[in-house]
């Protein structure tokens, strides 16, 4: 039985991993402030990962075979989290944990949850593959990319280390779908909004697909050569905004609301006007327009090439879940 360390055990993804893996493996779940509930088969540890001494002590105590690093500061509105905080938690803590895990077990497998935010939003060649240039426009994206680069360097200097860097598309599940809501729902859920034709496509990631893929990686990790590998992780196919509206409209979990068409020219003008009023948020506002006006699809051929097949789709989650 592999010993698995999961950070962010109280979070949206970390808790689901603890629940999905806890029955079949020796799991230690790390949380910071809020002790997760309903994890009877998981050994839980409270730990501040910015404390390097505690991280090294925990890894020496557990000697994990696999580390799944979910803990992070999530993408926030501009100004709500400063750049130093993003880098301290998302990059520096990741580096320390990876080094601690390698020191405790040179053959450890380190799975890092990164984000498609590392690519940025402009000058993208659709579908975006793992070899695409990374031009993050947010401090969050910059901190994730910095962590990726240090993990790759560490894996390349340790002969037995395997690192999997997972660039996650916007994640969702039945009880949490903010990443989809903001593309199609008006404030206060007053209506569905169809921006332009509504045929813009986006990649998204059902949480159970991510859990299943990580299970797959853990099962097949011994077949992979040492070093770092990067995967875009998303559902089998992308979704148009119209398809999201249709699925939401048929779901008992979402409100039944009218669909209001909004011209993209209006959104463009509004984003530029607000950007001039608030220079500190200009880049974020412009990036928001790009997400609404353009397709943002990520190439998942590399993930599918492992033999893994995502079982869940938008409709499976909201209509059949």
Question: How far is residue 97 CA from its own chain's centroid?
Answer: 19
**Res. 306: pLDDT tops 80:** yes
Going by pLDDT thresholds of 50, 70 and 90, the confidence category of residue 275 is: confident
> Is residue 50, in this structure, part of any structural domain at all?
yes
Task: Take residue 273 and report the two structure tokens written for it.
Answer: 């006007």
Range of the domain at 145: 3-172+204-235+298-311
- Give the 3-state secondary structure of the chain: CCEEEEECCCCCCHHHHHHHHCCCCEEEEEECCCCCCCCCCCEEEECCCCCHHHHHHHHHHHCCCEEEECCCCCCCCCCCCCHHHHHHHHHHHHHHHHHHHHHHCCCCEEEEEEEHHHHCCCCCCCCECCCCCCCCCCHHHHHHHHHHHHHHHHHHHCCCCEEEEEEECCEEECCECHHHHHHHECHHHCCEEEECCCCCEECCEEHHHHHHHHHHHHHHHHHCCCEEEEEEECCCCCEEHHHHHHHHHHCCCCCCCCEEEECHHHHHHHHHHHHHHCHHHHHHHHHHHHHHHCCECECCHHHHCCCCCCCCCHHHHHCCC
What pLDDT was estimated at residue 1? 77
- Read off the pLDDT of each residue in 239-251 and give the average, rounded to a whole number: 95
Going by pLDDT thresholds of 50, 70 and 90, the confidence category of residue 108 is: very high
Cβ 139 vs Cβ 308: under 8 Å: no
In whole angstroms, what is the distance from residue 18 CA to residue 20 CA?
Answer: 6
What pLDDT was estimated at residue 141? 95
Radius of gyration of the chain (CA): 20
Taking alpha carbons only, the member of 90, 101, 228 closest to residue 157 is 228
**Res. 22: pLDDT tops 80:** no
> Is residue 158, in this structure, part of any structural domain at all?
yes
What pLDDT was estimated at residue 10? 93
> Is residue 282, in this structure, part of any structural domain at all?
no
**Res. 24: pLDDT tops 70:** no
Beta strand 259-262 with 192-195 is parallel
> Is residue 292, in this structure, part of any structural domain at all?
no
Cβ 234 vs Cβ 207: under 8 Å: no
pLDDT tens per residue across span 39-75:
878 999 999 998 889 899 999 999 999 999 999 998 8
What pLDDT was estimated at residue 197? 96
- Read off the pLDDT of each residue in 280-294 and give the average, rounded to a whole number: 81
**Res. 163: pLDDT tops 80:** yes
Give me the percent of the chain exceeding a pLDDT of 70.
98
**Res. 304: pLDDT tops 80:** yes
Average pLDDT, the chain: 91
Cβ 3 vs Cβ 64: under 8 Å: yes
Going by pLDDT thresholds of 50, 70 and 90, the confidence category of residue 321 is: low
Buried b (16+ CB within 10 A) or exposed e, 257-288: beeeebeeeebeeebeeebeeeeeebbbbbbb
> Is residue 141, in this structure, part of any structural domain at all?
yes
pLDDT tens per residue across span 137-151:
889 999 999 999 999
> Is residue 289, in this structure, part of any structural domain at all?
no
* 266 vs 237, more confident: 237
What pLDDT was estimated at residue 125? 94
Task: Take residue 215 and report the two structure tokens written for it.
Answer: 């299970």
Cβ 200 vs Cβ 193: under 8 Å: no
Going by pLDDT thresholds of 50, 70 and 90, the confidence category of residue 78 is: low
Task: Take residue 304 and report the two structure tokens written for it.
Answer: 């599918």
| Total domain count, the chain | 1
Global confidence as pTM = 0.93
> Is residue 284, in this structure, part of any structural domain at all?
no
Q: Phi, psi (5° rounding) for residue 198?
A: 80, 5
For residue 84, how many other CB atoms are within 10 A of its CB? 11
- Read off the pLDDT of each residue in 159-175 and give the average, rounded to a whole number: 92
Taking alpha carbons only, the member of 317, 313, 130, 321 closest to residue 235 is 313
- Read off the pLDDT of each residue in 112-134 and give the average, rounded to a whole number: 95
Angle at 147 between CA 1 and CA 73, to 5 degrees: 85
> Is residue 153, in this structure, part of any structural domain at all?
yes
Residue 123: give its domain's CATH number.
Answer: 3.40.50.720
What pLDDT was estimated at residue 92? 96
- Read off the pLDDT of each residue in 155-180 and give the average, rounded to a whole number: 91
């Amino acid at each position: 039985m592999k010993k698995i360390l999961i950070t962010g055990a109280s979070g949206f993804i970390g808790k689901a991993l603890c629940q999905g893996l806890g029955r079949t493996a020796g799991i230690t779940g790390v949380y910071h402030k809020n002790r997760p509930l309903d994890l009877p088969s998981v050994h839980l540890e409270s730990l501040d990962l910015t404390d390097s001494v505690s991280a090294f002590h925990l890894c020496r105590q557990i000697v994990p075979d696999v580390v799944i690093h979910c803990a992070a500061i999530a993408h926030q509105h501009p100004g709500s989290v400063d750049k130093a905080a993003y880098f301290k938690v998302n990059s520096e803590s990741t580096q320390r944990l990876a080094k601690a895990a390698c020191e405790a077990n040179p053959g450890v497998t380190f799975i890092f949850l990164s984000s498609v935010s590392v690519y940025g939003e402009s000058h993208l060649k659709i579908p975006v593959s793992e070899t695409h240039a990374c031009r993050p426009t947010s401090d969050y994206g910059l901190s994730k990319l910095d962590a990726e680069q240090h993990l790759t360097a560490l894996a390349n200097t340790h002969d037995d280390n395997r690192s999997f860097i997972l660039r996650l598309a916007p994640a969702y599940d039945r009880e949490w779908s903010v990443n989809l809501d903001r593309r199609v729902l008006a404030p206060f859920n007053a209506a569905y909004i169809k921006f332009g034709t509504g045929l813009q496509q986006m990649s998204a990631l059902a949480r159970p697909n991510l859990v299943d893929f990580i299970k797959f990686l853990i099962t097949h990790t011994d077949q992979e050569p040492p070093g770092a590998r990067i995967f875009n992780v998303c559902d089998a196919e992308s979704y148009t905004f119209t398809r999201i509206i249709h699925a939401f409209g048929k779901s008992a979990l979402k409100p039944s609301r009218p669909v209001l068409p909004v011209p993209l020219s209006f959104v463009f003008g509004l984003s530029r006007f607000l950007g001039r009023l608030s220079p500190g948020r200009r880049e974020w506002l412009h990036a928001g327009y790009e997400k609404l006006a353009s397709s943002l699809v990520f190439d998942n051929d590399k993930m599918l090439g492992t033999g893994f097949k995502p079982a869940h789709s938008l409709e499976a989650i909201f209509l059949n879940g």
